[in-house]
């Protein structure tokens, strides 16, 4: 395999770091909230991750220059909407600046008024526990209060493109799940 090596010494092209990070496939989410003034905000993010099972905590991050940041900070609650493979258009909608990202969308209000998007593969309704500064991003840690999930193909982002999973012909992660999570998988 041909590998590219870059020293991150401050003179590097930041695109190189993005290229390397893009080699780690992630799910695609839309993070939503309702600010105290009633404003609904939402953005596409692949920075979502589980943090703890007990207590149930998740995390995600937002670039500090985002115009949505003050609304997310003031809301005190947020929802993680995990997108299904057929929802790449919704990912694009919430990744693109628009006057009303919710125009014509089906959603319902969740915990704290955070919009829950119709057709999402899973939703996590959360209360903001804390935020942490991290470089050019602000990390949100949330306590999960309610979940919903269904079956289907997730939308995946890898190397700058949307894709879907293909199961391998051999092997199973079940033994790994049992070893790591004690059968909680």
Closest residue by Cα to residue 87 from 42, 117, 114, 110: 117
Range 131-137, long-range pairs (CB < 8 A, 24+ positions)? 131/73, 134/61, 136/63, 136/64, 136/65, 137/47, 137/61, 137/62, 137/63, 137/64
Q: Provide the token pair at 124.
A: 């996590």
pLDDT the model gives residue 18: 82
Residue 35's CB: how many other CB atoms inside 10 A?
A: 17
Q: Is the peptide bond before 62 cis (omega within 30 degrees of 0)?
A: no
- pLDDT at residue number 98: 87
Between CA 124 and CA 11 the distance in angstroms is 39
User: pTM value?
Assistant: 0.86
Cβ–Cβ < 8 Å for 72, 64: no
Residues of the chain with pLDDT under 50: 185
**What is the pLDDT at residue 178?**
64
* Domain assignments of the chain as residue spans, ordered by start: 14-181
Query: Which fold would CATH assign to domain 14-181?
Result: Pnp Oxidase; Chain A (2.30.110)
| CA 61, 65, 126, 89 torsion-angle sign | negative
């Amino acid at each position: 395999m041909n590998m590219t090596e870059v020293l991150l010494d401050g003179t590097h092209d930041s695109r190189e770091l993005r290229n390397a990070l893009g080699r780690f496939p992630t799910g695609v989410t839309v993070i939503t909230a309702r600010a105290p003034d009633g404003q609904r905000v939402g953005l596409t993010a692949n920075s979502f991750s589980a943090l703890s099972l007990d207590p149930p905590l998740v995390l995600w991050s937002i670039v500090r220059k985002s115009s949505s940041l003050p609304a997310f900070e003031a809301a005190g609650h947020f929802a993680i909407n995990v997108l299904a493979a057929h929802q790449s258009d919704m990912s694009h909608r919430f990744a693109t600046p628009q006057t009303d990202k919710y125009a014509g969308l089906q959603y319902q209000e969740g915990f704290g008024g955070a919009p829950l998007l119709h057709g999402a593969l899973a939703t996590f309704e959360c209360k903001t526990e804390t935020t942490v500064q991290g470089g050019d991003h602000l990390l949100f840690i949330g306590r999960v209060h309610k979940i919903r999930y269904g079956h289907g193909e997730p939308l995946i982002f890898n190397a700058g493109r949307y894709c879907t999973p293909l199961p391998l012909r051999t092997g199973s992660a079940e033994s790994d799940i049992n070893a790591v999570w004690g059968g909680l998988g």
